[in-house]
Structure 1
Amino acid sequence: MRFLSVALLLMVSSLSFGQAAPVAAAVKPSQRFSIDNLDKSADPCTDFYQYACGTWLKNTEIPADQSSWLSFAELDERNQYTMRDILDKAAGAPSGRDALTQKIGDFYGSCMDEKAVESRASAPLKPALDRIAAVKDKSALIDELAHVHLQGARGLFAFYSSPDLHNADMVVGNIDQGGLTLPDRRYYVDGEKDTPDQQQKMAEMRQHMIEYATQLFTLTGQTPAQAGDSAKTVLRIETGLAKASMDRTLRRDPKNRDHKMARDQAVALAPNFYLARYFTAVGTPVFTELNVVNPDFFKEVNGLLETESLDALKTYVTWHVLNGAAPWLSKEWVDNNFKMRQYLSGQKQIQDRWKRCVDETDSDLGEALGQKYVEVAFGAESKQRMLKMVDALERSLDQDIAGLPWMTGETKKQAKVKLDAIRNKIGYPDVWRDYSSLKVEPGDLMGNILRANEFEARRRIAKIGKPLDRKEWGMTPPTVNAYYSGSYNEIVFPAGILQPPFFDNNIDDAVNMGGIGVVIGHELTHGFDDQGRKFDPQGNLRDWWTEQDGKEFEKRASCVADEYSSFVAVDDLHLNGRLTLGENTADNGGARIALMALREMVAADKSGKAAEKIDGYTPEQRFFLGFGRVWCEKRRPELARTLVNTDSHSPGKYRVNGVVQNMPEFQQAWGCKTGQAMVRENACRVW
């Protein structure tokens, strides 16, 4: 779990068993920056997103196995091909493999062995289902809940470790709200401002969930009538959990998630959770304190656990075992699971099995596969160039903070201390995870997944009460993303994102600065957004701002929130400017400091070559074109609706236009005039 203080940047051919060395998948010309993507019939000062992406939008269709298509998805698919090559060779070499190659090869091979998966159907679930069925009282049910939590199923609440909010050098346990099947509490509970159409859409999704759950319960042997009753039981319990859950926007404030208390106090807070028994069952180290992220949730659900029958609660726990395993069982389970996912995402067809198996191997053995990935897909030259760019962006942010007219000297001084303390992680970890104790069996996919889940859960639980390991990474090397962690005060860029169109060794600095440069600036700015600003240089939750500066920040942040709340995402749904505030603040700040860094690079080039036009565009214009290309995007309407309710990021169109309309630098570069759409009358600026 990373939610406490981490801000993300964002979310075929047959098997070959040849033994040639794996190679990185080739970059398609369409995936590189090109002026051919532009729509020159559009006015950049009216709709810059259309200008930068128009031809790309016209020529691009969302693949049937995707719910959206953008740079992240293009690069993710390319990485899938690279990893597939690695895994095909690992699985196809039964002798002479090193231990790491054997482990990832056997895991991937078990996933690709459809015949074995079909022959076992749902048999891998029988031990867990039998244990749940045999439970005789509610206190004993918590033992089985602990067991399924360890094996990856969600249910009732969440338990995980994270840096202590007030002593980030130590790891603390957390209990948190959870237990929902649908993406967010809003799918269960109508909001005060929801329109009748929005309420109807949510009601339809609940009905789809009932139909899905009915199908899975039927596959376990229940009659259709019994399965329907079981599904309704699950929805009733989850509706209670949703009502008790904190709104996603409120959860953005770390102060709302800060409720550290004595272990015994937490146990007494909600006696029907039998937390002392649960902690024993999951194998926690001895500890005296933990963080109860949302105490009100546990108080309210404590009553639900009192009133619901044992049979109803057993049905609910059983459901989460079934739902969690469904994507990896026989075809009828997979098909029902995908049908539910279609309602939420609009994806037309399920991905080829090899893609799903590559992703699952990366998820469960990510740093094992990652070691092989970086050998073929990430060179020392890329890392050194990235480090130079990060250094340039940090200098720009330092200058930006120093020149802010609204911030006092005292807070500026503290901000510089924090900026100087940010750690940079590029490409891959210095120390790799040890998987030697994880048992992987050929031909046992579900067993391998359950054992991998338990391996990871126990590894994280074992950290409780111990010093924080700051060398750890929260993403695997092939991941196409990046993040800032407030608790670690670090920015992390996996090797997976350091490729075109974000980063291209063969293109000019202006385009790279508009791509990966803005990404770097985005992550750095997260250290000072509405969440990040509340953490100090050591990663502790501490207010280091003067009262005056804090108020001024909130005023400026409100401008950004109001701006983005005015944007329509899909149909009648507006963006939630408060939910997306951190990402929008980081987008705006990241673009500004990346442009500052580019200007320094151009000024430092005594040859004058860096200032020359390319393809008829100045360096600053190419910077903005590179920025726009990164966010060219198509989404299916179903996914767009889901993301409005759940995602802290704005759609690509507004990640571009929402930023440039606040930038006088953009307006100067493109000759925009007052009154045009990309010239905001009351421009917002935080950083």
Structure 2
Amino acid sequence: MHNAVQILCVWLVGQPIIGLAWAASIGQDDLNQDTPYNRELLRQAKVAEIESFMDQKADPCDDFYTFACGNYKRINSAFSMEVITTGVFETLTKGLNRKILKMLNTAHDIHDTPEDIQVKHFYESCLRIKELNGTYSGKLKRLIAEFGTMPVLEGSSWQEEEFDWLGTTARIAFRYGIAPILGIEVNKDLASNQRNRIYLGQQEFPLESRSMYVDNATAMYRQRYRSSIQRILQRSLGVKSELARQTAKELVDFEVDLAQGLVDDSEGLDLSELTELLTVREIQERYSPTLDIDRLVFVSMGERVSDQIYEYNQRYQRNLVDVIQRTPLRTVANYMFYRLIWEFVETPADKPEKQQKVCLDLTKKFFAKNLDNMFYRRYNNEKSSREIDSMWRQLKATFNETLHTSPALDWIERPTRNLAIAKLQAMRLQVNNYAEDNFTEEFADLNLQSADYVENVRQTSLLAAKQMREMLHKPAKPFEAGSQLSYTPANILIENIIKVPVALLQPFYIWSDVYPSAVMFGTLASLIGHELIHGFDDSGRKFDAKGNAYDWWDEKSSGNFLKRRDCFTKQYGRYVYDGIQLKESAAQSENIADNGGLRLAFTAYRKWFESQSDLAKERLPSLRYTAKQIFFISFAQIWCNDAHPSVKALQVSTDQHMPGKFRVIGSVSNFDEFAKEFNCPAGSAMNPNEKCILY
């Protein structure tokens, strides 16, 4: 629900570049042969890729992104490739998806566990959605009938006085874990992460963020959403066109009203400001009589709860009181039942390849952990695991030394620096392979078959809701965020753990032991360094060495942090993206992590570089740049990307990460070492006189 994004501090993604096309033609087995010929071939291919993206006529001191990525859009145009975005993470995801599809489309083999076979059944049932035909609508209507009647289907015979919206949402939550409008979930206690607590707050919003509902720039997405609702009402429930159109408008208007209470990400509020630990009775008194919180919790959990629970984002509940009082119950009922069936509706694609892609995404939605584990068991690459672990140890040692001795961190008082050192020492890195998970236990009540997609989703939802309720009385397990952790590294603040996705284990995309260390540090190390710095950014610094929410900063150091953060707010607020002025935002976690991650990776690389006696491998054939320049070029090319023209306004409104261009130029323009390596004159665009620096 609500707190996953807050706790995660995930950095993004767009979605892939072209990848190394030659790798597919040569064959993986050939590449795995460690011969001088292959090593040279791989190095030449890396040079070709690096140079193909660059515009070497551009002045690196004027615009380093154009210098490093100026040709990228021409080669990987999102518009011509008919995708939302292109970038290195899209390429990694494509590579992972190809392997997962191969697993899912392969008849059961010796690698398959009984749980793998059930996941394959789920995927197969999605491929066979067309076979449901006329029975699909009936299945959805039976789901609605479990909880009452839907006005748009009942017409004038619908009885408003019989509809209890809060009781209905609680019953839906208890049975299927779906919480229309307002709900609860069980997750780790922020302040004491060895136990679980209940969190009460907003539903998951289909358009995700407040800006998607209130900004003028995102109006077209609300229009598309409204059209999608209309189509579902017509095709899946048989509602006539005009009535479906009017109902869809009412539902979106209601959802926009609800979204007024969502958190404005630009305010930079952290979890301590958004959550409050209260008794159920205290929350009940806050919103009674409009919101019967006591009954909501009791029915959703199936038991009386005497422990305190977290209320998340009080603004949402206060807004909800007003919205519910002025909204016709007919609209509320239509909305709730639409949100119920929305989880079960899937329209068949017109081509088998598209259907496979849709079904892969749906299988990831419900079984991301299983797919990552299946991939890991089949494609585990010991070289990559060793490389990631080695990089982690070097970065950790480098930041430890910086915290101990660097005058650049004198703005942090010594006692607070000592606590930061303790947090760093406790921080761990883990490949997100789920090797320790007991899938047999998790699947004990499932019996997924390949014929009925709706029934499979129903069973899966029933089990997930039951397991979530049971968590309240069990020790806390590792935090989960579904498919988010499959494609992007993340710092799980509540555990003080960095999780690396299995997608990153694939060789040749950003790492290979035949590449110069400059490339490895510029890419892999800067990504891991980014996550390490998240542990000390605006959100991360409010979690201690054990991963519990606790503000361990002294007042003077905290004040210094906020002053320095303000520099980033002003810097990044000056950028203009595709004619759109970016907002000044107090939320600077991603920019702080980009800047700090780059500095940390370069410092670690410089230490490595100075310790070597033979640096011949650091030069790439025919590439006329120094090793340290290659480091910065490699860093920049992680963020080479292109976005489809239709989504650029969406990017600006919804993504806390800067567009790739500004992730590059923002970071390098704050770094004296970059200016030194490229001989950028003082006062040039990439070497301004005033720089923003935290770590």
CA distance in 1, matches of 2:191, 2:12: 27
Q: Give the one of 184, 191, 214 matched to 1:159.
A: 184
Q: Give the one of 587, 594, 607 matched to 2:594.
A: 587
CA distance in 2, matches of 1:396, 1:33: 30
Task: Check if 1:370 corresponds to 2:372.
Answer: yes
Report what 2:144 is aligned to.
Answer: 129
Q: Note the C-alpha offset of 1:31.
A: 11
Report what 1:647 is aligned to.
Answer: 655
Q: Note the C-alpha offset of 1:318.
A: 2.0
CA distance in 2, matches of 1:244, 1:184: 11
The 5 Å alignment of 1:249-328 reads 249-250=266-267, 252-271=269-288, 272-283=290-301, 287=305, 288-326=307-345, 328=346
Task: Check if 1:142 corresponds to 2:166.
Answer: yes
Q: Note the C-alpha offset of 1:573.
A: 3.6
Q: Note the C-alpha offset of 1:98.
A: 4.0
Which digits, 9 at most, give the CA deviation of each residue in 1:398-420, with x for residues without a partner?
A: 12223123222111111101111
1:375 to 1:166, Cα distance in 2 relative to 1, 3 A:
closer
CA distance in 1, matches of 2:65, 2:110: 53
Letter of the 1:630 counterpart: I
Q: Give the one of 674, 688, 694 matched to 1:666.
A: 674
The 5 Å alignment of 1:228-627 reads 228-250=245-267, 252-271=269-288, 272-283=290-301, 287=305, 288-326=307-345, 328-330=346-348, 352-402=354-404, 403=406, 404-434=409-439, 435-470=443-478, 473-475=480-482, 479-499=486-506, 500-579=508-587, 581-609=588-616, 615-627=623-635
CA distance in 1, matches of 2:28, 2:132: 30
Task: Check if 1:55 corresponds to 2:68.
Answer: no
**Structure 2 residues without counterparts, runs of 5 or longer:** 14-26, 33-41, 151-158
SS at match of 1:175: strand
Contact 1:9 1:482 in 2 (8 A): yes
Task: Check if 1:72 corresponds to 2:77.
Answer: no
Q: Note the C-alpha offset of 1:457.
A: 3.7
Contact 1:536 1:542 in 2 (8 A): yes
SS at match of 1:668: helix
Contact 2:183 2:201 in 1 (8 A): yes
Task: Check if 1:175 corresponds to 2:190.
Answer: no
Letter of the 2:260 counterpart: K
Letter of the 2:295 counterpart: R
CA distance in 2, matches of 1:96, 1:670: 51
Contact 1:122 1:330 in 2 (8 A): no
CA distance in 2, matches of 1:172, 1:680: 48
Q: Note the C-alpha offset of 1:30.
A: 8.1
SS at match of 2:687: coil
SS at match of 2:260: helix
Q: Note the C-alpha offset of 1:250.
A: 3.4
Q: Note the C-alpha offset of 1:599.
A: 1.1
Report what 2:156 is aligned to.
Answer: none
Report what 1:35 is aligned to.
Answer: 51
Q: Which moved more, 1:599-608 or 1:210-219?
A: 210-219
1:244 to 1:103, Cα distance in 2 relative to 1, 3 A:
same
SS at match of 1:169: coil
Contact 1:118 1:330 in 2 (8 A): no
Q: Note the C-alpha offset of 1:355.
A: 1.6
1:369 to 1:214, Cα distance in 2 relative to 1, 3 A:
closer
CA distance in 1, matches of 2:30, 2:472: 40
CA distance in 1, matches of 2:395, 2:574: 30
Q: Note the C-alpha offset of 1:8.
A: 0.9
SS at match of 2:419: helix
Percent identity, aligned pairs only, is 23
Which digits, 9 at most, give the CA deviation of each residue in 1:479-513, with x for residues without a partner?
A: 22110021111111021123343332331211011
Task: Check if 1:83 corresponds to 2:100.
Answer: yes
Contact 1:270 1:302 in 2 (8 A): yes
Contact 2:53 2:70 in 1 (8 A): yes
CA distance in 2, matches of 1:118, 1:521: 51
SS at match of 1:174: strand
CA distance in 2, matches of 1:32, 1:367: 36
TM-score, normalization: structure 2?
0.86
Which digits, 9 at most, give the CA deviation of each residue in 1:547-571, with x for residues without a partner?
A: 1111111111110111111112233
Report what 1:103 is aligned to.
Answer: 118
Q: Which moved more, 1:308-317 or 1:26-35?
A: 26-35
Which digits, 9 at most, give the CA deviation of each residue in 1:422-477, with x for residues without a partner?
A: 1221241341242232221211112212322333343333222543224x554569
Report what 1:341 is aligned to.
Answer: none
Contact 1:39 1:50 in 2 (8 A): yes
Report what 2:232 is aligned to.
Answer: 216
Q: Which moved more, 1:278-287 or 1:109-118?
A: 278-287
* Paired residues, number: 647
Q: Which moved more, 1:389-398 or 1:352-361?
A: 352-361
Q: Which moved more, 1:96-105 or 1:403-412?
A: 96-105
CA distance in 2, matches of 1:518, 1:627: 7
Which digits, 9 at most, give the CA deviation of each residue in 1:259-284, with x for residues without a partner?
A: 11012222333343433333344335
CA distance in 2, matches of 1:162, 1:78: 32
Q: Note the C-alpha offset of 1:99.
A: 0.9
Report what 2:36 is aligned to.
Answer: none
CA distance in 2, matches of 1:438, 1:143: 27
Contact 2:176 2:464 in 1 (8 A): no
Contact 2:170 2:183 in 1 (8 A): no
TM-score, normalization: structure 1?
0.87
CA distance in 2, matches of 1:114, 1:411: 57
Instruction: Calculate the aligned-residue CA RMSD, in Å.
Output: 3.0
SS at match of 1:365: helix
**Structure 1 residues without counterparts, runs of 5 or longer:** 12-21, 191-198, 336-348
Letter of the 1:545 counterpart: W
Which digits, 9 at most, give the CA deviation of each residue in 1:144-175, with x for residues without a partner?
A: 42454464656212422232222222211111
Q: Give the one of 222, 225, 244 matched to 2:242.
A: 225
CA distance in 1, matches of 2:56, 2:28: 37
1:138 to 1:424, Cα distance in 2 relative to 1, 3 A:
farther
CA distance in 1, matches of 2:658, 2:353: 25
1:457 to 1:508, Cα distance in 2 relative to 1, 3 A:
farther
Contact 1:259 1:292 in 2 (8 A): yes
CA distance in 1, matches of 2:482, 2:229: 32
1:140 to 1:94, Cα distance in 2 relative to 1, 3 A:
farther
CA distance in 2, matches of 1:677, 1:456: 52
